[in-house]
Amino acid sequence: MVVKDQILKVIQELPQDATVEDAMERLYLLYKVERGIEQAEAGQKITQEEARKRMAKWLE
């Protein structure tokens, strides 16, 4: 699916009372998910254990 089609689908699925901010949040989420998939496919990922170690440092 091309990007324009994805954007149109997201907007069409919004409730009738959605705000511009709601649309922007959904589109930003779509962007971040797509970017994450691209990074994973390019081998730019970490193990779950490494993620836990990093998160533990943030919570100190």
pTM of the prediction? 0.71
Return the ∠ at Cα 14 (arms to 8 and 20), rounded to 5°. 85
Identify the sign of the CA torsion 14, 19, 22, 26.
positive
Q: pLDDT in tens for each of the 60 residues of the chain?
A: 788 999 999 999 999 999 999 999 999 999 999 999 999 999 999 999 999 999 999 988
- What is the DSSP secondary-structure string of 2-25? -HHHHHHHHHHHS-TT--HHHHHH
Q: Compute, in degrees rounded to 10, the torsion defined by CA atoms 9, 29, 14, 20.
A: -110
Collapse the DSSP code of 49 into the 3-class scheme (helix H, G, I; strand E, B; otherwise coil) and give the result: helix
